[in-house]
Structure 1
Amino acid sequence: MSKLDEYVNRLKAKIGFEWSNPSLLTQALTHSSCVHESRGQGLHHNQRLEFLGDAVLELLISEYLYQRFPDRTEGELTKMRAASVCEPSLAKVARGLDLGRCLRMGRGEERSGGRERPSILADAFEALLGAIYLDHGLEAARRFVLEQLNPIITDVVAGRLDRDYKTELQERLQQNSPDPVSYVIMKETGPDHDKVFTAGVIYRGQIIGQGSGHSKKEAEQQAAKDAFNRLDALKHTGPKPSGVAE
């Protein structure tokens, strides 16, 4: 038995599911770099399962927060959900499951530290959830999500997690105007296994902040942080300019 198989068996024991379709678990734990390096060979990467798992996760956490906190406003619930399912939170849960060691991954991605990269870990968690949903249904997915994320939600409620700058920026801007806040990926650099994304925050047709990261989500958070910090600086130095951020 290979080391990878040992880690996957430990994961199976941790989550406690008997798989009707084991290929779903294999797919959930297959990073795109593995498929690209092997030129397919019958493998399927986890991006479609990640897409599904993301939607299931948002539904289940929204339902849980709605029921657990009946006195919280829509804005408060949205902020709590965003902090609970953001990339750093999901990466933390994935590390607890040791998902990094369970992934089938290309050599280049592995050499660049892919098994510890937050974006890859968070995506793997969502893919695993998507696989659980397809194989076992919504109730099993709900049990898994709440078991894994309850400590995170507790930290969110207590204010012990990293700040979610995207939500904070939107709240700050929309205090004065209902105009939407949007994000655009301005640049991608580096090889496929080690890409760096640069994102911009757009508000009223202007770029008000920029940031970079190894995933689009991370880049958007950094761009939001940049814009938020600029707003804080302007608060102490004078009125907001209407031009593009420097």
Structure 2
Amino acid sequence: MSFSSSSRGSRSSRMTFEFGRTHVVRPKGRHQATIVWLHGLGDRGSSWSQLLENLPLPNVKWICPTAPTRPVSLFGGFPSTAWFDAQDMSEDAPDDLEGLDATAAHVANLLSTEPADIKVGVGGFSMGAAAALYSATCHIFCQYGNRSPYPVNLSSVVCLSGWLPCSRMLRNRVAGSNETVMRAASLPILLCHGSGDDVVAYEHGEKSARILHSAGFQSLTFRSYNGLGHYTIPEEMDEVCRWLTDNLGLQGS
């Protein structure tokens, strides 16, 4: 699937992002929630769909898309699957707003056909977690970075070993609207990060959590894992399952 991105009045050329294959894990029980899960840099949707299929969340449908293959500045321009271009894996890096908007629109499109009574969310790992947090900001502002309307009402956001893109923009814009403040306060977000992460440093995850909280995201949970590197462990995924069950009101079957 492709998504053409161009902001009005922008001098930048129109870019087309060709997204890869999407893998879907159907709910084993009564369908109550759908979550789009975004993989990390250089990965693909299939590797996460296998892990998510085995979680004890029978009421959740998982949608695992694959990012476009594109030049990545972090790799000296070498192409890789990536949700947006990144020069650095931190909240201080320059923001690829066009790539972030394209990914947020792709996530919204994947969720757009879900039934009205199904709660929808987005989560991810590493760069995918960063893209998920960007979708959270689109949700509270009801618009993408290019000011086009954002159509999805998110019920949860999960971020594993990630960081917050566009952090400077977020801090400057939230206070301007009571509705934005209310949406930020009511959106549940779970951030998990390992203290031994040598790819996205723990301090970036912790700082991103502080920025989100100070911007008004009051329903935010931050979990740290002593010695955990840039990967997931059963203990962390157990926390994700507990948190989703509580925040989405999931039933047992």
Shared fold per TM-score greater than 0.5? no
Larger Rg: 1
TM-score, normalised to structure 2's length?
A: 0.26
Higher helix residue share: 1
Higher strand residue share: 2
